[in-house]
Amino acid sequence: MDLGTANSIVIYNGKIVVNEPSIVAYDRNNRKIIAVGKQAQMMEGRTDRNIETIRPLRGGVIADFEMAQQLIRQLIAKAGVGRSILPPSLRMVICIPSGITNVEERAVRESAEQAGAKEIRMIHEPMAAAIGADIDVLKPQGHMVVDIGGGTAEIAVISLGGIVCNNSIRIAGDVFNDNIVDYMKRQHNMVIGIRTAEEVKMKVGAAVSELAEPPEDFCTTGRDQLTGLPKQISVNYKEIAHALDKSIASIEQAILDTLAITPPELASDIYTTGIHLAGGGALLRGLDQRVKSKTKLDVHIVPEPLSAVARGTGKALKNFNTYQFLVR
Ligand SMILES: Nc1ncnc2c1ncn2[C@@H]1O[C@H](COP(=O)(O)OP(=O)(O)OP(=O)(O)O)[C@@H](O)[C@H]1O
Ligand SMILES: [Mg+2]
């Protein structure tokens, strides 16, 4: 299971069986769960006073324990590996952000146990991303992985099955969305919601203001700040590249900082192996190009960046007892 800030994926018997946004909708009066995943997402920003939607994981950490546990339980149930038909020896590997505290780690483990898992191991996100990208992590060769998710951008140098140095900043997809909301307010006097910002990012999001294949301008709807009336505005990718510029510069800086603390032998490996971009953020138009020109290194977007961490976690499960980096 990849328990992400934005999306959670469950792989069972080698196949993705659940892929849902990490959102829980519950009744405020009795804290009963009403919906999780896509269904809860539809309710986001549209709830009445009795229903609340929450993303229990924020900025790569657990923001709401109880709801995070509920999410884990419901995801396992959705995967069809519910308690009733559970094989008695169910093994589970859960991918956790590298910034997670011991208390949080225990909470994740307990939820998985309550949901029926018998043997549990944890794996750190960048390691899972590297395995998912088919990198031979056990070899004595340095690789840099940059995983830009919803809550965090994690940068790690991996060699000999371990994370040699890493850096994690809380600037990723969610902050990009905030940047877009702010920009629309400042520039167009228009108030938009987070879901709309997310849509703008998908349609015309960019990391550079010169793209060889630019996306078409996107018409977005929001509320005029002055009149209070709904209105429509067309946005182009150059505007969004401008809106995201500072956040992306921070990620670039974190990459440079990590390179600066990388032991020299591994640094020279990375000169040949390059940087592997994973996570949904890797899909931002022109991000690879921008990181490449900043670091002068080769930048590869891993195949299917949104599921790389989950696939790596799945592969780790196959080596449950042999991968020494699986946290017990
Ligand atoms: N095409 C795209 N362009 C830009 N951003 C995208 C694209 N597709 C997805 N994203 C963003 O990627 C993020 C989700 O990525 P991912 O599923 O890797 O995160 P996560 O694993 O849930 O989060 P984290 O690893 O931080 O806990 C979201 O913020 C989403 O908006
Ligand atoms: Mg992730």
- Count CB-CB contacts under 10 A for residue 272: 10
The structural domain count of the chain equals: 3
Report if residue 70 sits inside a domain. yes
- Ligand 1: atom nearest CA of 198 is 31
Note whether 187 and 204 are same-domain residues: yes
Q: CA Rg, the chain, in Å?
A: 20
- Ligand 1: atom nearest CA of 173 is 29
Note whether 161 and 60 are same-domain residues: no
Ligand 1 close to Cβ of residue 281 (< 6 A): yes
Note whether 221 and 93 are same-domain residues: no
Return the biggest CA–CA distance within the chain: 63
Ligand 1 close to Cβ of residue 284 (< 6 A): yes
pLDDT for 325 = 77
| Cα 107 off chain centre by | 20
Q: Ligand 2 (ion): which residues have CB within 5 A?
A: 4, 149, 309
Question: What CATH number is associated with residue 233?
Answer: 3.90.640.10
Distance 308 CA to ligand 2 centre (A): 9
Note whether 182 and 165 are same-domain residues: no
Q: If we measure between CA atoms, which residue out of 125, 120, 89, 109 comes closest to residue 8?
A: 125
Q: List 326's β-bridge partners, or say none.
A: none
pLDDT for 85 = 56
pLDDT tens sequence for the chain (328 residues) = 999 999 999 999 889 999 999 999 999 999 999 999 999 998 887 778 899 999 998 877 788 888 988 999 899 888 876 555 556 678 899 998 777 788 888 888 888 888 788 899 999 999 999 999 999 999 999 999 999 999 999 999 999 999 999 999 999 999 999 999 999 999 999 999 988 999 999 999 999 999 999 999 999 999 999 999 999 999 999 999 999 999 999 999 999 999 999 999 999 999 999 999 999 999 999 999 999 999 999 999 999 999 999 999 999 999 888 887 787 7
Ligand 1 close to Cβ of residue 283 (< 6 A): yes
Ligand 1 close to Cβ of residue 55 (< 6 A): no
Note whether 158 and 236 are same-domain residues: no
Ligand 1 close to Cβ of residue 56 (< 6 A): no
Note whether 167 and 296 are same-domain residues: yes
CB 43 within 8 A of CB 192: no
Cα gap 315→304, rounded to integer Å = 15
Distances (CA, A) of 314 to 77, 129, 137: 18, 11, 15
Distance 97 CA to ligand 2 centre (A): 8
Report if residue 297 sits inside a domain. yes
**Which amino acid residue places its CA nearest to atom 15 of ligand 1?**
280
Note whether 113 and 203 are same-domain residues: no
Report if residue 328 sits inside a domain. no
Report if residue 323 sits inside a domain. no
- Considering 190, 225, 243, which residue would you say is the last residue of a domain? 243
pLDDT for 180 = 98
pLDDT for 87 = 61
Note whether 95 and 184 are same-domain residues: no
Note whether 85 and 154 are same-domain residues: no
Is the torsion defined by CA of 111, 112, 115, 116 positive or negative? negative
- Considering 243, 261, 286, which residue would you say is the last residue of a domain? 243
Question: What CATH number is associated with residue 150?
Answer: 3.30.420.40
Query: Which is it for strands 299-301 and 275-278: parallel, antiparallel or unpaired?
Result: parallel
Report if residue 327 sits inside a domain. no
Note whether 151 and 278 are same-domain residues: yes
Ligand 1 close to Cβ of residue 7 (< 6 A): yes
- Ligand 1: atom nearest CA of 174 is 29
pLDDT for 81 = 67
Residue 185, domain extent: 173-243
Report if residue 85 sits inside a domain. yes
What is the residue whose two structure tokens read 């969004």?
240
Note whether 20 and 117 are same-domain residues: yes
Note whether 120 and 205 are same-domain residues: no
- pLDDT (tens digit, 9 = 90+) per residue, 282-327? 999 999 999 999 999 999 999 999 999 999 999 999 988 888 778 7
